Amino acid sequence: RLPSGSRVGSLSSCPDWLCLSPALQKDLDSKLFGQHLAKKVILNAVSGFLSNPKPKKPLTLSLHGWTGTGKNFVSKIIAENIYEGGLNSDYVHLFVATLHFPHASNITQYKDQLQQWIRGNVSACARSIFIFDEMDKMHVGLIDAIKPFLDYYDVVDEVSYQKAIFIFLSNAGAERITDVALDFWRSGRQREEIKLKDMEPALSVSVFNNKNSGFWHSSLIARNLIDYFVPFLPLEYKHLKMCIRVEMQARGYEVDEDIINRVAEEMTFFPKEERVFSDKGCKTVFTKLDYYLDD
């Protein structure tokens, strides 16, 4: 089933991009913690794409990492910096694999619907944004239906997709990201020393060969149509405290370091021996915070 609020072919035109690099950088700096790689890649990729009047292909980003590390949050920040209304904009379209494509037996129907949905919305607004969440739960082969839209074609069936943005979110590859981060930690090196080249090649191979991923042996990867594989590192104790502090401020509470420490200490960490990384990232700190703020 297509996402609710379908407006295929009914939009007159889309507004200009809102995105200005300083605004995007400010949001990433003040709201995203522990993700120096993701921050740099997202800022450069999005800003560069939006400033290019004639891109050769759509911007295609694949964000990878454990739950709670910031993938959904970053896609929200990108949407908010490009269109008023962010994820609620008529020009931003979110697909959740388990919600919109639940049954493997319907994959042929889903492929047709997906192509129609994207074609209709890009026809109405060339600068449409499409976000695919839970790529690790998507049925193998389904995402290949959009391969022609991501390729280096000027037009496909009289429609140009070159100004659209596609963002994929996935837990696939998280183990590989953690291995690299742990290697750096165990050798006494700072996580900020990790470079994209330490992650990206192995990450793309890991995702391509992961049979539990919607990208398994996908033509999108085989044809090099994904511009950036963006690693989201597992978060440390200090990053959880940053998340909690910002959330307290956002709710209008005075920052209380005692509450921040108590909430952070309730979280669980891995590996069991070293206890370096949060196993849920920042995902559940907000509900834990409710408990202490109600005291």
Binding residues for ATP: 65-72
Of the candidates 283, 205, 271, the residue with the CA atom closest to the CA atom of residue 239 = 283
How many beta carbons lie within 10 A of that of residue 184, not counting itself? 17
Backbone torsions φ then ψ of 228, nearest 5 degrees: -140, 130
Of the candidates 89, 18, 88, the residue with the CA atom closest to the CA atom of residue 50 = 18
Annotated binding site: 65-72
Of the candidates 236, 235, 241, the residue with the CA atom closest to the CA atom of residue 257 = 241
Distance CA 69, CA 234 (A): 6
Residues 6+ apart with CB under 8 A from 119: 149, 157, 159
Q: Is 188 helix (H, G, I), strand (E, B) or coil?
A: coil
How far are the Cα atoms of 2, 89, 92 from residue 6, in angstroms, in the given order?
7, 12, 11
> Rounded to 5, what percent of the chain is helix, strand, coil?
50, 10, 40
Of the candidates 250, 240, 241, 251, the residue with the CA atom closest to the CA atom of residue 280 = 240
Q: Is 252 left (phi over 0), alpha (psi -120 to 50) or beta?
A: left
